[in-house]
Amino acid sequence: MPFRICKTIEIENGHMLSKHPDKCQFPHGHTRKVELILEADTLDENEMVCDFKLIKELVGDYLDSFDHAMCMNTNDPQYATFKAAYGDRVIGFENEDPTTEVLARDFYHYFQKALNEKINATETSPGKYPLRNTVRLARVRVWETSSSWAEFY
């Protein structure tokens, strides 16, 4: 049975779902909780899966780029207008609506890549928070509201 840890990071994030048949097609926002869940079969020399600070270090800037940003389908008729007005605070999703499921998937892939890079870097230069190659990303869960979430693993 593996050990699991979870780091939760909150962001304020908006989106528009151009394919939605109701109110969600209009700009709206959420206080999103992003849960990053890691696991390992054993604990390290500090009795940890890994240090929670390392998780924040690996994804903090990336998730911060979504904070107070509007996520939009690049096919949305208003995408170019929003992008011109708000620049990098508008994040385009190529030909797909930025649903919570899509965000969970994209966050997962980003974090998996960051973990792999850190594991490879640890082999040559462990740094303050080394990461063992036995640590795995179990899943990413993104809360849209206090009662609704999506996850990807």
What integer pLDDT is reported at residue 84 of this predicted model?
Answer: 98
What integer pLDDT is reported at residue 16 of this predicted model?
Answer: 97
- How does pLDDT run across 74-100, given as a tens digit for each residue? 999 999 999 999 999 999 999 999 999
CA dist 106 and 6 (Å) reads 18
The CA–CA distances, whole Å, from 2 to 5, 40, 136 equal 10, 5, 10
* Residues contacting residue 80 through CB under 8 Å, at least 6 positions apart: none
What integer pLDDT is reported at residue 143 of this predicted model?
Answer: 98
Written as one letter, the residue type at 15 is: H
What integer pLDDT is reported at residue 1 of this predicted model?
Answer: 74
What integer pLDDT is reported at residue 126 of this predicted model?
Answer: 82
pLDDT band at 70 (very low <50, low <70, confident <90, very high): very high
The CA–CA distances, whole Å, from 118 to 14, 48, 75, 111 equal 30, 16, 35, 10
pLDDT of residue 73 exceeding 80: yes
Name residue, tokens 């080394």: 130
pLDDT of residue 112 exceeding 80: yes
Instruction: Please tell me which residue, 147 or 127, carries the higher pLDDT value.
Output: 147
Q: Structural domains in the chain?
A: 3-152 (3.30.479.10)
Instruction: Tell me the residue ranges of DSSP E strands in 2-152.
Output: 3-15, 28-40, 69-73, 90-93, 136-145, 148-152
In this prediction, residues 121-126 reach a mean pLDDT of 86
Q: What's this model's pTM, rounded to 2 decimal places?
A: 0.95
What integer pLDDT is reported at residue 125 of this predicted model?
Answer: 85
